[in-house]
Chains A and B, each alone.
Chain A
Amino acid sequence: MKKYFFLLFGLFFCVSAQAADNILNLYSWSDVIPQSVIQQFEKETGIKVHYSTYDRNEVLYAKLRANSRVGYDVIEPSSYFVDKMRKQGMLEALDKSKISNWHFLNPVLLNPPYDPKNIYSIPYFWGVTGMFVNTHYHPANSIKKWADLWSDKYKDQLLFLDDAREAFSVGLLSLGYKINDENPAHIQQAFLQLKKILPNVKVFSSDTTVSIMIDEDAALGLSWNCDAERAKRENPQISFVYPQEGFVIWVDSFAIAKDAPHKENAYQFLNFLLRPEIAKQASLYSTYATGNLAAQKLLPENIKNDPRIYPTAAYLRKGSFQTDPSEATLALYEKYWEELKMGG
């Protein structure tokens, strides 16, 4: 009996003894930073990194909201969550003098409307929401605009992202409005427009989009550009299209939580992440486009010159960033989205 007690105590201690003073608590989207990068940081600085992951912004937000002293240092909110969290005082204003590698960042991504002057966030990964088409079923140039997806010939063939924000952006853009339009009348028009596309939609998904594209469960539809690229590796027929009316540019940014217990280590880590060599490794691992211009130049030719991952300036001008909508607009989105999902 005593033997077992000792065993349990042993287990208990070998876990609690791990606690070191010099640590950094990282909380990010899953599968964005490779283990090798973390190990290199630990080796160079002697700081122990505790790495945990989440699968949607809401999880991060709720966790910090419930208890701001929970202990996370570096976090990775996406565009409009940066907006939401900075407005609620959940982010630390960044001291740029401690981030000497700041100048490597791509100017296109700086000063976004969700965080003017980038006081709180470092744009790290980015991409766009566009359309994909499987050239086995339809020629690559058959869709050019969002509005083309409404055509009768695509009945029961579309993949639609299971995300109210993205869906309404498509509805608004196809009508010629801006994605952050909060006019209730315009949103209602977008809803009626989306209702008309329902017969074409074969599947709503945002978790298994890559497998749906590869296995040809949908011939065309909405897609993030990185997902279309991943799908292309296993099914070369997949082709990505930038819609002419415009599109959403999403950005995953790194930031420091307001009550971060290890702020100095957080700055060291952020500066380390911005090193071109490190940003390149992270981009290759996660398959997202890097926001670091110097890192982009280090990438293999076929990636850095691929306009589907790094769109040219002419294309980029049509993109826009999402900002955090008001409570009333959110409620409206939710109400219409439920109606749509129930079949209009």
Chain B
Amino acid sequence: MKLKNISVASYLTLIYLFFYIPIGVLIIYSFNQAQYSLLWHGFSWRWYQELFADQSLWLAVWHSLVLGILSSSLATMVGLFAAVCLYRYRFFGRQLLYGVLFILILSPEIVMGIALLILFSLIKMPLGFISLLMAHTTFCIPFVAVTAYSRLVSVDKYIFEAAKDLGANDWMTLTSIILPLLWPALLAGWLLSFTLSIDDVMISYFVVGPEFEILPLKIYSMVRVGIKPEINALCTVLFFITLSCIVMYQLLLRKKT
């Protein structure tokens, strides 16, 4: 019994080390005094000072955040309705439509990127914020739809019939039954979409225009001339923001119960 515990513990330790060592290294390097060297040259706040003074970087961060929030919200709305339609209405080709969602999830990003670029130039749509928003919303929708659908399937379907029996119309069913039941799945879908949107390089590269630079593309373009430790500092800040969000969420949850 004890042996089993030890092996489980060491297995988990290994997995977590594998996850967090790279992030740990990144955080350590954000305090390294040297600009290019990958050896330790002493502790310094220099990169954090430069980070907070770098306006163009913050503009890219702001653009990415706005894009992430808008596209994941849009995708959540559209995805929710898609899931509800697929679940509640029986029509010809329903299975096919559901399968097509997975094709979008599985198809390589480069296909989607080029396809969207061709579409946008065909309809003469200028590349920029709107084209990025449409692209990001598009690739996020299937993720939301699939998470929401799988949650819907697990709900007792008599609830909907009962609601109808008691005189609820479609809108009331949606707002007072489906939404309260589905919100954990929607939240998960939203977060998933937000994460996908924030770090997408491939599709964004094809549909980005000159007036709206976003963070992942900016970082990517720095690779050749050397990623400044400033970026390490930025990643560290983002990591700790995420961490504090999770801690806060857990604390709030604990209070409620």
Contact = CB atoms under 8 A, between A and B. Distances in A.
Contacts of B225: 29-31, 55
A206 B224 CA distance: 7
A73 B206 CA distance: 18
A325 interface: no
Q: Is the interface of B mostly helix, strand, loop or mixed?
A: loop
B210 interface: yes
B157 interface: no
B39 to A, nearest CB: 5
A23 interface: yes
Contacts of B228: 31
Contacts of B224: 29-30, 55-56, 206-207
A214 B117 CA distance: 42
A230 B36 CA distance: 9
B55 A215 contact: no
B7 to A, nearest CB: 38
Given A71-B126, A71-B209, A215-B37, A55 B66 contact: no
A3 B198 CA distance: 24
A15 B129 contact: yes
Interface residues of B, number: 42
A252 to B, nearest CB: 11
Contacts, number: 108
Contacts of B130: 16
What size tier do the contact residues of chain A reach?
Answer: 35 or more
Interface string A11-41: 1101110010001011101110001001000
Contacts of A69: 121, 126
A192 interface: no
Interface stretch (B82-90, B104-112, B214-222, B233-241): B214-222
B69 interface: yes
B37 A234 contact: yes
Interface string B195-221: 000000000011011111100011011
Contacts of B209: 70-71
A4 to B, nearest CB: 8
A51 B60 CA distance: 10
Contacts of B35: 234
Contacts of B220: 55
Given A211-B36, A214-B36, A11 B210 contact: no
Residue with the highest number of chain A CB atoms closer than 10 Å, among B73, B208, B210: B210
Interface string B54-98: 111000000100100110010000000000000000000000000
B208 to A, nearest CB: 8
23 contacts: A8-B73, A12-B70, A16-B129, A25-B211, A26-B210, A29-B224, A30-B218, A31-B225, A35-B54, A52-B221, A55-B222, A55-B225, A59-B205, A66-B117, A66-B121, A69-B121, A70-B210, A71-B128, A71-B211, A73-B210, A206-B224, A208-B226, A211-B37
Interface of A: 1, 4, 8, 11-12, 14-16, 19, 23, 25-27, 29-31, 35, 38, 50-56, 59, 63, 66-67, 69-73, 206-208, 210-211, 214-215, 230-231, 234-235
